[in-house]
Amino acid sequence: MKTASCLPGLRSVTYQVIQPGGHLTPHHGATSGILRVHLGIDVPEGNWIEVGGKRTYFKNGKCFAFDDSTVHEVHNESKRPRTNLIIDCWMPMSISGQRMRRIKHRFAHSIGAKRSVIADYFKETVEFAAKYKATHPELFGENEAQAGD
């Protein structure tokens, strides 16, 4: 794991083994801002992940990355265990993006809102901001436009 420790924003590196017929029910991460990467180590056919309603099949030696705050579930429909390396990193974002994340969490905590409600709202806000930046690049400095909040 020495190589993984040099990744910027590294949060954790773990192995995940799902037994034959195993299923992780739909769930989402506890916080936004985590990029989860699955790397197939020993993946028999019939292993998939569904993220935000889109199904992707795991493959040996292939990576799949997604925002951990999005609802996802995992199935092993094969007759042998599936092993993936999982790498969690903080998503790269600008200082303003980091401030927005902190404000969002404080707001959610103060009103007692369920995590999924706030995640959906925040996702819609980020998507709107990304579209706005894409259609109005002249309004953003060169570094801010490349930061990809």
Residue-wise pLDDT for 115-131, tens only, equals 555 555 556 556 666 67
pLDDT tops 50 at residue 147: no
Compute the distance between CA of residue 61 and CA of residue 59 in angstroms, rounded to an integer: 6
Report, as an integer, the average pLDDT of 32-42. Answer: 87
pLDDT band of 137, cuts 50, 70, 90: confident
pLDDT tops 60 at residue 37: yes
In Å, the largest CA–CA distance within the chain is 55
Phi-psi region of 16 (alpha: psi -120 to 50; beta: other; left: phi over 0): beta
pLDDT band of 49, cuts 50, 70, 90: very high
Residue-wise pLDDT for 70-101, tens only, equals 899 999 999 999 999 999 888 766 556 666 66
Q: Please calculate the CA angle 10-101-65 and round it to the nearest 5 degrees.
A: 40
pTM: 0.60
Residue range 4-90 forms a domain whose CATH class is: mainly beta
- Taking the CB of residue 147, how many other CB atoms lie within 10 A of it? 16
Residue-wise pLDDT for 9-22, tens only, equals 788 899 999 999 99
pLDDT the model gives residue 146: 41
User: In b/e form, how buried is each residue of 19-33, taking b as 16+ CB within 10 angstroms?
Assistant: eeeeeeeeebbeebb
pLDDT-above-90 percentage for the chain: 36
pLDDT the model gives residue 68: 87
